[in-house]
Amino acid sequence: MATARAEGRGLTALASAVESALASGATPPALSLGDRRFEWGARTYVMGVVNVTPDSFSDGGRFASTEAAIAHGLALAEAGADLLDVGGESTRPGSLPVSVEDELARVVPVIEGLRARTAVPLSVDTTKAAVAREALRAGAHLINDVTGFGADAELPRVVSEAGAACCLMHIQGTPATMQQAPRYDDLVEDVLAFLEDAIARAEAAGIPRGRILLDPGIGFGKTFEHNLFLLRRLNELRVLGLPLLVGTSRKGFLGRLAGGKPASERLAATLGSVASMAALGGADVVRVHDVAEARDALAVADAIRRGEDGGALYAR
């Protein structure tokens, strides 16, 4: 009997391994957000960043007022953003949480203003169920949680009840502590394990697997070398069979690679990173501050990745 049970466990593990291997080569099913349909694998989509915070690392609070944030979001939509990600709480290294009341006051009016003037799907960058609930009521389609549903146990249920989508990100620690001394035994395996747990929390709350995106969390509890290693190995996260959303825009490791340039001067480095990811097939969505420029870079990188006309011999 014991031998039979052991063999059963072995077969279960083998079946799981085969299923994962097959998933890694499969294109995730399409996702509908509002009246937009995202066909994963067709091209790399662009998420535009709308920071409604006074202390953003990337724009120094330039769009902290409701009117400025709405105008900025509309400009990003006009520039070709496929989604807009609205955030009312900074998650830069060393940042501290803001109250629910403050975050709601920043985010909800912007969601309402954008929803009234653009059909581009709206994401809200929050870790709080109370904020997510009101943002979804105001017209948001996706909740982007940098803790992978690890901070607020009510958040998965809120997303599920609204029929919304979610993006679950990997982080080590919290924004206040994540860059103090990040370390891993096996970076890719640790990120995979974290994301598998996040997916389990989402599915347990009733969120369909097809409405989940994953984010490896570049810069969130990772050293300079961790970021580069993970970007090079993004395709290994395909084993989870879900679309990948990756944010490198204006981040510190790019500044270091560009000779110490500040966030405001990291456009070229950002474009290098998103083009590399697209050419390697490592991301389905890139989260960026500079939408028009990213769209141009991605058009080139996606075309190179899809190029198939190598002459008559290749057509056989």
Give pLDDT tens digits for 48-90: 999 998 755 555 557 779 999 999 999 999 999 999 999 999 8
Per DSSP, 77 falls in state H
pLDDT of res. 175: 83
Within 10 angstroms of residue 315's Cβ, the number of other Cβ atoms is 8
Residues 6+ apart with CB under 8 A from 169: 144, 145, 146, 147, 148, 214, 215, 216, 217, 220
Q: Residues 250, 251, 266, 295: which is the catalytic one?
A: 251
Across 6-20, 30-44, 166-180, least confident range: 6-20
Q: How confident is the model at residue 314 (pLDDT cuts 50, 70, 90)?
A: confident
pLDDT tens for each residue of 162-219: 999 999 999 998 888 888 889 999 999 999 999 999 999 999 999 999 999 999 999 9
Angle at 12 between CA 7 and CA 17, to 5 degrees: 125
Q: How far apart are CA 230 and CA 102, in angstroms?
A: 34
pTM value is 0.90
Both tokens assigned to 223:
């050293």
* Position with higher pLDDT, 58 vs 96: 96
CATH code assigned to 42-306: 3.20.20.20
Q: How far apart are CA 248 and CA 227, in angstroms?
A: 9
Which helix (H) or strand (E) covers residue 18, if one does?
helix 2-24
CA-closest candidate to residue 213, choices 224, 198, 228: 198
pLDDT tens for each residue of 226-278: 999 999 999 999 999 999 999 999 999 999 999 999 999 999 999 999 999 99
Q: Is the pLDDT assigned to residue 1 strictly greater than 90? A: no
Q: Is the pLDDT assigned to residue 5 strictly greater than 60? A: no
In angstroms, how far is CA 63 from the centroid of its own chain?
21
Q: Is the pLDDT assigned to residue 22 strictly greater than 60? A: no
Q: Residues 43, 211, 222, 287: which is the catalytic one?
A: 287
Q: How many Cα neighbours within 13 Å face the side chain of 158? A: 24
CA-closest candidate to residue 268, choices 258, 280, 259: 258
Is position 251 annotated as part of the catalytic site? yes
Q: How many Cα neighbours within 13 Å face the side chain of 309? A: 1
Is position 9 annotated as part of the catalytic site? no
State what percent of residues in the chain have pLDDT above 70. 89
Amino acid occupying residue 171: I
